[in-house]
């Protein structure tokens, strides 16, 4: 099922055109997307460093989650709102952008990883809260989180590059993966 017709309709809406053609609004939204990244990812990395044992190992884990949790959530909400606005401003190009698609897959996996941690091993945190070396499942949650969020940032940054855009002739694989309509020779 292709969302292309929906993205084409979205691109014709007054709001999408206004945001896309705006002199200040789009850069403002994108800058906020990047600034919120510092807050959200900055806090997430501190928690992941604690889980993988490369930093803050003398700090009880619940001290980190209790004190940094609200900032992480605030940063995440701002990331999602500004991200959706960035998508809304250029829906067709973003939808057919291979880096955006990779980023969405990584975002889903990162969400799953956080949910498995939150509703799994973290429920028994009282048993290992002070431990410098956390249980294996918590350690793996930290490793996956660091890998997936790094991938999301790299893919997010690559969205701006048009190497694989559909308005160029692409390989069969890229044409399929990006959802391009095949070029007529």
Site residues, ligand HEM (CB under 6 A):
30, 33-34, 37, 41, 76, 79-80, 83-84, 86-87, 94, 100, 152-153, 156-157, 159-160
Q: 134 vs 149, which CB is nearer to ligand HEM?
A: 149
Q: What is the DSSP string of 79-109?
A: HHHHHHHHHHHSHHHHHT-HHHHHHHHHHHH
* Nearest in space to 117 (alpha carbons), one of 60, 132, 109, 74: 109
Least CB distance from residue 114 to ligand HEM, whole Å? Answer: 11
Q: 107 vs 134, which CB is nearer to ligand HEM?
A: 107
Cβ atoms of residues 112 and 141 within 8 Å: no
Q: 11 vs 37, which CB is nearer to ligand HEM?
A: 37
Least CB distance from residue 17 to ligand HEM, whole Å? Answer: 16
Q: 83 vs 142, which CB is nearer to ligand HEM?
A: 83
Least CB distance from residue 40 to ligand HEM, whole Å? Answer: 6
- CA–CA separation, 19 and 88 (whole Å): 8
CB proximity list for 132: less than 8 A, separation 6 or greater: 53, 57, 58
Least CB distance from residue 75 to ligand HEM, whole Å? Answer: 8
């Amino acid at each position: 099922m292709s969302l292309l017709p929906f993205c084409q309709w979205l691109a014709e809406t007054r709001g999408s055109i206004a945001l896309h053609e705006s002199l200040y609004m789009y850069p403002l939204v994108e800058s906020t997307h990047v600034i919120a990244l510092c807050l959200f990812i900055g806090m997430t990395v501190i928690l992941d460093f604690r889980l993988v044992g490369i930093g803050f190992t003398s700090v009880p884990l619940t001290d980190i989650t209790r004190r940094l949790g609200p900032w992480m959530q605030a940063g995440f909400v701002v990331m999602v709102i500004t991200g959706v606005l960035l998508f809304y401003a250029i829906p067709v190009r973003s939808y057919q952008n291979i880096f955006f698609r990779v980023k969405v897959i990584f975002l889903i996996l990162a969400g799953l990883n956080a949910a498995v941690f939150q509703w799994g091993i973290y429920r028994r945190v009282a048993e290992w809260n002070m431990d410098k070396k956390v249980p294996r499942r918590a350690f793996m949650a930290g490793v996956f989180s660091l890998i997936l969020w790094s991938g999301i940032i790299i893919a997010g940054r690559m969205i701006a590059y048009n190497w694989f855009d559909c308005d160029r002739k692409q390989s069969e694989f890229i044409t399929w993966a990006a959802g391009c309509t095949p070029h007529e020779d």
